[in-house]
Structure 1
Amino acid sequence: DAALGPDLVARREAALATPPPERPEQISENTTEGAATAAAYFIDLYQYAFVTGDTKDFAAMSEQRCVFCNSVIDDAKKIHDSGGWADPWDSTVTAVRVYEQNPGYDYIHVEIDMQWAEGTSYDGDGTPKTTDSGDFTLIIAMRYVNGSWVVGESEVKK
């Protein structure tokens, strides 16, 4: 902590004290609204994982085969295992589209249009890394299992 200095120590403590996102009731509904709400909650859990290092809820919503999900979990853990953290950043969902499930497929297709502010993460020694702001679309393959929505895969479409 002494090597970081008081400003970075305070930033890290504030980030680690970030409360988890509130789990919406609609996430348990097997409806289009439930899927849209679950997808937006997944985005909130993404940020929470990077800011705090707590990947438990993100992992619970992710299927084991989800490459995107596993990389998020690994990256968040790597940052925090070294003593690093990420500052919270502003993000806005500008649109959500839920498509009907195609016959013969277990998953539905959800697209979320997002605007993200510039973000900063820090290595354990306090070295900052900046992520650019921008607009993008996150494509999520979701399915309803045992009373809640889970993510089978996701990718960013720019």
Structure 2
Amino acid sequence: MPPRTWDRRALASTAALSVAIALAGCDGGSSPDPTTPPAVTASPTPTSTPTPTVPSTPSRPDAMSSSTAEGAAATAEFFMTDLYPHIYRTGDLTEWDVLSSPDCTFCNNMRSKITEMLAAEERVEAGAMSASNTATTEQREGTWYLVSTRLSQEDSTRIDSSGTPVSTTPGGTVDALIALSWDGGWHVDEVELTPAGA
């Protein structure tokens, strides 16, 4: 496979998307009358602390099985609007690593952030993300693509190791340029994020 080099200067650097990028004793009184049995007080039923439900890994859209412009767009949107919030909510990098190219700076930066988050026993209730105005440019037929899209994210909340919310980051909107290649399956080669409309 040819080396993944791109002629777009916009991919020369990457910016991290703000995550918004985000929780009965006794009193020692007199003894009861020996002819009267002591009252029996029912002990309160212990309540169990609910175990947080871990979100399941998002399912890939069917279009990702195709090495077409439609497949590239579907992969780019899945990577950013489904997997990106998922890795913050769960710390699960399995699918992220499968789709990330080893040389993807953005992908590797995100992996480092998640690793640090896990080491601190924290997580982020990342706000839902959506994509709009998605367009795809074919750089090489069936092999290389550039996908541009506008990403919007709702507020996110950081949760510390005790489960307590410690901070909330407002959502926002960015423009994304995502480079992808097909080699029997999709790989994200790079991601650039800039303020919307910049």
What is the alpha-carbon root mean square deviation over aligned residues?
A: 2.2
SS in 2 for 1:92: strand
Query: Can you list the C-alpha shifts for 1:90-126, whole angstroms capped at 9, x where unaligned?
Result: 22212211112169xx632111211111111234354
- Provide structure 2 residue ranges, at least 5 long, that are not aligned to the other structure: 1-22, 24-48
> Alpha-carbon deviation of 1:154?
0.5
SS in 1 for 2:58: coil
Counterparts in 2 of 1:82 and 1:51: CA distance versus 1, 3 Å: same
Kindly indicate whether residue 134 of structure 2 is the aligned counterpart of residue 96 of structure 1: yes
Kindly indicate whether residue 98 of structure 2 is the aligned counterpart of residue 50 of structure 1: no
Kindly indicate whether residue 147 of structure 2 is the aligned counterpart of residue 79 of structure 1: no
Of residues 150, 154, 157 in structure 2, which corresponds to 1:120? 157
**AA in 2 matched with 1:151:** V
**AA in 1 matched with 2:193:** V
> Alpha-carbon deviation of 1:127?
5.9
SS in 2 for 1:100: strand
Count of aligned pairs between the two proteins: 145
Provide the C-alpha distance between the structure 1 equivalents of 2:77 and 2:95, rounded to a whole number of angstroms. Answer: 14
Q: Kindly indicate whether the alpha-carbon contact (under 8 Å) linking 1:111 and 1:137 is maintained by their aligned counterparts in 2.
A: yes
Which residue of 1 is the match for residue 170 of structure 2? Answer: 132
Provide the C-alpha distance between the structure 1 equivalents of 2:122 and 2:51, rounded to a whole number of angstroms. Answer: 8
Counterparts in 2 of 1:11 and 1:29: CA distance versus 1, 3 Å: farther
Higher relative contact order (CA 8 A, sep 6+): 2
SS in 1 for 2:115: helix
Higher Cα Rg: structure 1 or 2? 2
SS in 1 for 2:92: coil
What TM-score, normalized to structure 2? 0.67
Kindly indicate whether residue 59 of structure 2 is the aligned counterpart of residue 25 of structure 1: no
Kindly indicate whether residue 144 of structure 2 is the aligned counterpart of residue 107 of structure 1: yes
Query: Can you list the C-alpha shifts for 1:60-106, whole angstroms capped at 9, x where unaligned?
Result: 10011111001111111211222111114122212211112169xx6
Kindly indicate whether residue 190 of structure 2 is the aligned counterpart of residue 153 of structure 1: yes
SS in 1 for 2:139: coil
Counterparts in 2 of 1:42 and 1:12: CA distance versus 1, 3 Å: farther
> Alpha-carbon deviation of 1:42?
0.4
Report percent identity of matched pairs. Answer: 26
Which residue of 2 is the match for residue 40 of structure 1? Answer: 77
**AA in 2 matched with 1:28:** S
SS in 1 for 2:127: coil
